[in-house]
Structure 1
Amino acid sequence: MASLPNFDDLPPVRGMPQGCAWGIFDKDDKKDILGTLNLLTREVVKDAAAEVEFNTQASSQWDRFVYFMHHPTGLAYNGANPTIEAFQTPKSSQTLPTLDHWHQRGCVTGPGVLIDFKSYAQSHGISYDQFSGFRIGATELEEVASWQGVTFQVGDILLTRFGVTETLSQMTGAGQGGAMRSGKMCGLEGSNKMARWLWDKHFAAVASDNIAVEAMPPIFDGVEQPTHELVLHQWCLTLLGIPLGDLWDLKALAHACRASRQYSFLITSSPLNFPGAVASPPNALAIL
């Protein structure tokens, strides 16, 4: 972008005081509507992105459909084949179901509903270790919804609170590392039955304050399995097209819902608009 005039050098605009920047950003006979946001050029944004050093995978995030594959076929949602070569092609963002496509339809904006299992458990004398692999099924989710007076609607974004992020925030870095490396985490039951329930409720997306939405480790026929065998990740992300959100901080939302006795709200979420994005911080707000 050409250099901009200093304040005192801005060209005069008839009828306006000195220092009016009208017309400065006009181009090709089109009146500008962005103002100084025009200064966020591709080069400026690229330089800003170079400042990023932290690993977003270890914080609040959305997982997109190319984050996890259907193991028998190696394919992602709707038959996409997200190979390294596929991501390296110039048109990869046009052919793969990556996060940047959300921006084409206003990102994530819709009805949210909180299932506050932590408060429900405390009220009903249910104790659980958040780092033990404790899991709840559709029956428990329905019970909490009934206790809160919640009726699920088509298009709801389901948020489930277990209190994991609250516990992690009280730990030292070493304590957090140990908890995360344990491979055990409370969450939703990872099963075909749970996948069926989530689909039949027609949720638009599912998120939680734990690491993977579903409990870890996966368990088949009573036997613990490695993390890469996560059941809901295969069902939701690859087969059903349901986005999953991990490690969302739901404490303040739970307090607001409890105080207002309202567990439904508007959710807005604007992930990174980065071509080919596999995951992103959610940048989410719940508005009651």
Structure 2
Amino acid sequence: MSPSSAEGPDPGPADADNGPAVSRREFDALFETVRTWGRWAPADRGAWNRVTAEHVRRATAVVRAGKVVPLGLPWNTLPGPDNPRPALHHMTDLGDVESPEPSTHKDFIAADYHGKAVTHLDALCHVAYRGQLYDGRTAKVLVGAAGARFGAVSALGPLVTRGVLLDLPAVLGVRWLEPGQAVRAKDVIAAESALDVTIGEGDAVLLRSGHVRRRGELGAWDPGAASAGFHVDAVPLLAERGIALLGGDGDSDVRPSPVDGVHSPVHALALAAMGVPLLDNLDLEALSAATAEAGRHEFLLVVAPLNVPGGTGSPVNPVAVL
């Protein structure tokens, strides 16, 4: 990977390497290699079945300082190149009732959250590949106007496990990865060595590319066209380690996609093949600083999605505890 640069006023993507091209045939073979269909019950919890009470107990043991770091972006109501469908927020009660006391203040929020501007969790029903959800379930049968009858966010519940931060800019000594920069399997291994952390079974892996810092300094761009993220060749390594959750300050996929005819290949592999939920659009800047200060890149991660029956995901504000 090449260092980034903050020079120049143009916030758009630089000429970065999204990794070697992957044919559809090669991708389909990879899908078969990492898929875990038929492995767990209940199936609609997917890889989250790996996280037992013992996993949670061990995750709580990594807490030393008691420092709590929120990972969610602010609720974004402003349109922009990365927010074509802004979230809604307006007041419904301004306390103008004279009696009886007390007066109240109320508001309304709503969001089409599966985009690039709202921190959210993707449930297993969010993505189908070749018409199939995770575990080989038929998407057209199980997902309709009323929501999903398989793989909904309500099947996951609160997610608590050990988190691992792969802080690539810190490893490379740069401010951020440029949009379009692929993180490959060899980069994951190098990051583990540099950060003295090892990804293990049931872990949540969070990739920091520096997206939030770059946006803050240079302005917004369209991450659907170009963003740093994982190349598909990193997925077999993550599958081998037995991860239960994957996330990042982008949406985990490098864009442009290196896979012919598949716009979100990491989404397809994680959700539809491996049953691994995804955390998109995290703010990992404060966590980067906290882990650097602590000298360790593991933490307790707590994610509490809304209990939406049939929901394809949920806005969230995950919390890391060091």
Contact 1:62 1:245 in 2 (8 A): yes
1:109 aligns with 2:169: no
Quick one: which amino acid aligns to residue 55 of structure 1? D
Q: Report how far residue 102 of structure 1 moved.
A: 1.5
Name which of 209, 212, 219 aligns with 2:249.
209
* Identity %, equivalent residues: 22
Secondary structure at the counterpart of residue 162 of structure 2: strand
Which residue among 256, 264, 285 is the counterpart of 1:251? 285
Q: 1:143 to 1:84 in 2, by over 3 A?
A: same
What SS does structure 1 have at the residue aligned with 2:124?
A: coil
Q: What displacement does 1:85 show?
A: 7.3
Q: CA deviation at 1:151?
A: 1.9
Call closer, same or farther: CA 1:135–1:266 in 2, change over 3 Å. same
**Number of aligned positions between the proteins:** 217
Report the alpha carbon displacement of residue 84 of structure 1 after superposing the two structures with TM.
Answer: 7.9
Q: Alpha carbons of 1:70 and 1:149: their partners in 2 closer, same or farther (altered >3 Å)?
A: same
Give the structure with the larger helix fraction.
1
Q: Which runs of 5+ in 2 are unaligned?
A: 1-91, 94-105
Higher relative contact order (CA 8 A, sep 6+): 2
Once the two structures are TM-superposed, the CA of residue 127 in structure 1 deviates from its matched residue by 7.9
Shift of 1:244: 1.4
Report the TM-score when normalising by structure 2: 0.62
Question: Given the superposition, is the C-alpha separation of residues 206 and 182 from structure 1 closer, same or farther in structure 2, using an over 3 Å criterion?
Answer: closer
Partner of 1:120: 171
Provide the secondary structure at the position in 2 that maps to 1:144. Answer: helix
Matched residue, 2:206: 159
Distance 2:276 2:224 in 1: 27
Mapped to 1, the partners of 2:181 and 2:138 lie a distance apart of: 34
> Aligned-pair RMSD on alpha carbons?
2.6
**Aligned partner of 2:123: which letter?**
R
* Map of 1:41 onto structure 2: none
1:219 maps to which residue? 258
Aligned to 2:128: 69
Whether the 8 Å CA contact 1:163–1:209 is kept in 2: the answer is yes
Paired residues of 2:177 and 2:211 also in contact (CA < 8 A): no
Q: Secondary structure at the match of 2:198?
A: coil
**Contact 1:87-1:276 within 8 A present in 2 as well:** no
CA positional deviation for 1:169: 3.5
The residue identity in structure 2 corresponding to 1:53 is A
Q: Out of 305, 316, 321, which is 1:271 matched to?
A: 305
Correspondence 1:87 to 2:144: yes
The structure with the larger Rg is 1
Q: C-alpha distance in 2, partners of 1:145/1:185?
A: 22
Q: Distance in 1 between matches of 2:143 and 2:298?
A: 39
Change (3 A) 1:283 1:148: same
How many angstroms apart in 2 are the aligned matches of 1:96 and 1:198? 24
Q: 1:209 touches 1:248 (CA, 8 Å); kept in 2?
A: yes
Q: Which runs of 5+ in 1 are unaligned?
A: 1-46
**C-alpha distance 182-158 of structure 1, shift in aligned 2 (>3 A):** closer
Q: CA distance change for structure 1 residues 168 and 143 in 2, over 3 Å: closer, same or farther? A: same
Name 2:234's counterpart in structure 1.
194
Aligned residue identity for 2:178: Q
Q: CA deviation at 1:79?
A: 2.3
CA distance in 2, matches of 1:285, 1:234: 26
1:66-114 deviation per Cα after TM superposition (whole angstroms, max 9, x unaligned): 111112xx0111123333874346xx65x311111122xxx10011011
